[in-house]
Structure 1
Amino acid sequence: MRYLLAKGEIVTLQADDAIESLSLVAGAIWLTRSSDTRDYCLHEGTRLAVVRGETLIIEAISPATLTVNCRERRAGVHITTAWPHSSPRTA
């Protein structure tokens, strides 16, 4: 599944059992995850393994194309647009 994010757009992804990883096809994103205390700045060409059941908060630093790689063809992904086109720091 491929998602296009506008600069500043923030989404929350709840990973289920079928999600294997995220790949950043274009652009740059900031990412934090519930299973880790570190923050990540990912750039085009980066792939990040996803832990089953974790929550990811993703903010597009620039316009970005993100692919959710799944183990199954019809994986369940729950994505919530929390703050479209604005940051929680400025909302």
Structure 2
Amino acid sequence: MRYLLAQGEIVALKTDDAIESLSLIAGTIWLTRSSDTRDYCLQEGTRLAVLHGEMLIIEAITSATLTVICHERRTGLHITTAWPQTSPRIA
């Protein structure tokens, strides 16, 4: 699944065991994980392994293209927008 995020857009992702990783195809994002006290600034070309059940908060520092890599075709990814007037767009 590929998502296009506008600059400044914030989304929350809650994963399940079908999600393997996230790959940043273009742009820069700021990422916070529920399983880690650190924050991450990820740039184009970065791939991040995802843990079962973790919550990810992502803010697009620049316009970004994010791919969610799954073990299975059908996943349990839940996306919540932080701001009601914005939402991820599927490419």
Q: TM-score, normalised by structure 2?
A: 0.90
Change (3 A) 1:46 1:84: farther
Gaps of 5+ in 1: 87-91
Question: Shift in Å at residue 84 of structure 1?
Answer: 5.8
For the pair 1:34 / 2:34, whether they are aligned, the reply is yes
The DSSP-based 3-state class of the residue aligned with 1:83 is: coil
Tell me how far 1:83 sits from its aligned partner: 2.2
Aligned Cα RMSD in Å? 1.4
8 Å CA contact 1:9, 1:84 repeated in 2: no
1:17 to partner: Cα distance: 1.0
- Aligned-partner residue type, residue 58 of structure 2: I
**Deviation sequence 1:27-68 (CA, Å, 0-9, x none):** 000000000000000000000000100000000000000000
Q: How does 1:1-91 map to 2 (within 5 A)?
A: 1-83=1-83
Cα distance in 1 for partners of 2:18, 2:56 equals 15
User: Which residue identity lines up with residue 9 of structure 2 in the other structure?
Assistant: E
Contact 1:8 1:62 in 2 (8 A): yes
Contact 1:10–1:84 under 8 Å retained in 2: no
Q: Mean Cα displacement is larger for which, 68-77 or 5-14?
A: 68-77
Q: What is the distance in 2 between the residues matched to 1:75 and 1:21?
A: 12
Query: Which of structure 1's runs of 4+ aligned residues deviate more than 6 A?
Result: none
Q: Which amino acid aligns with 2:26?
A: A
